[in-house]
Amino acid sequence: MRSCLLLPALCGCSLLGLYDDPPVDPPDDTDEACTRLYQAFCGALRGCCADWTAERTADCASRGAAKCIEDFSASVADGRIALDPSEWRPCLDGIAAYFGSCSTEPLPEDVTCVSLWVGLLDQGEPCQTGECAPGLECYTICLDPLELPREGDSCFEECTSEPCLLLCAAEHYCDERGVCRAFGMMGEPCEILDDGYADDCGEDLMCDDDLECVPDLPGGEPCTTDRECHSYSCEDGFCTAGADEEPFDYCE
């Protein structure tokens, strides 16, 4: 399955606004799920986009459903993922809640409805994103993330494809010696790596001049390297805004 989730199709299209009160009974197959999902999504979306016509909404629903079917139908047919009917109502509730307030926050996972499809592949099987059974994650093959090496352990080599992946548990990375090390937490000592292009601080943190993990810089703050910025983009001496720092314009 492609790493689209459903988001690229949601963000790049126009859509249909006929279904303000979508049926809550679960769909029977992927084609029906994709069609009804985009009818529901686009009907809700139209209520927040004043200049959207019925034609524009219908076009978006049609294109969104087609992209969804393209992304999921082959993996379903191959037995790599399956539709989970129990997730249909939470999906509709997420759409209604998000667009009920016409939020400008980035689309949360319950609105993209990725959980409508559940992975079926067992540990060790080659995979693409979303195809592993619950509790497993795809690293070119399905693995249990809880079994990956931690601080001080040798990195796990996954060589199904080239180049090999050197894997460690969450919140860890593989150093130049092939040993897993934990990322630094807020306020902890840190190292600047790769000639200043990386550091060993955890998510949303960066290593400052005092070699201490501190929060990443938001958009608009002065910077010298990409690693200092939350967006990982320093341009003309200032951090650019990350996707989660700007209002999400879903009416475009």
Confidence of residue 46 (pLDDT cuts 50, 70, 90): confident
The pLDDT assigned to 6 comes to: 43
Residues across the chain: 252
Confidence of residue 11 (pLDDT cuts 50, 70, 90): very low
Confidence of residue 109 (pLDDT cuts 50, 70, 90): confident
For the chain, percent of residues with pLDDT exceeding 70: 88
d(C-alpha 244, C-alpha 7), whole Å: 14
Domain boundaries, the chain: 7-119, 148-182, 192-242
Q: What does the pLDDT look like over 62-89, one tens digit per residue? A: 999 999 999 999 999 999 999 999 999 9
The pLDDT assigned to 81 comes to: 97
d(C-alpha 69, C-alpha 177), whole Å: 44
Beta bridge partners of 199: 192
Question: ω before 189 within 30° of 0 (cis)?
Answer: no
Its pTM stands at 0.73
The pLDDT assigned to 215 comes to: 97
Phi, psi for residue 111 in degrees, rounded to 5: -80, -35
d(C-alpha 160, C-alpha 222), whole Å: 42
Write the CB contacts of 224 (distance below 8 Å, at least 6 apart in sequence).
196, 234, 237
d(C-alpha 156, C-alpha 166), whole Å: 5
Give yes or no for residue 33 having a pLDDT over 90. yes
Query: Which candidate, 3, 35, 5, places its Cα nearest to that of 19?
Result: 35
Q: What does the pLDDT look like over 85-103, one tens digit per residue? A: 999 999 989 888 888 888 8
d(C-alpha 169, C-alpha 240), whole Å: 30
What are 230's two structure tokens?
């939350």
HEC profile of the chain: CCCCCCHHHHHCCCCCCCCCCCCCCCCCCHHHHHHHHHHHHHHHHHCCCCCCCHHHHHHHHHHHHHHHHHHHHHHHHCCCEEECHHHHHHHHHHHHHHHHCCCCCCCCHHHHCHHHEEECECCCCECCCCCECCCCEECCEEECHHHCCCCCCECEEECCCCCCEEECCCCEEECCCCEEEECECCCCECCEEHHHCEECECCCEEECCCCEEEECECCCCECCCHHHECCCCEECCEECCCHHHCCCCCCC
148's torsion region: left (phi>0), alpha (psi -120 to 50) or beta? beta
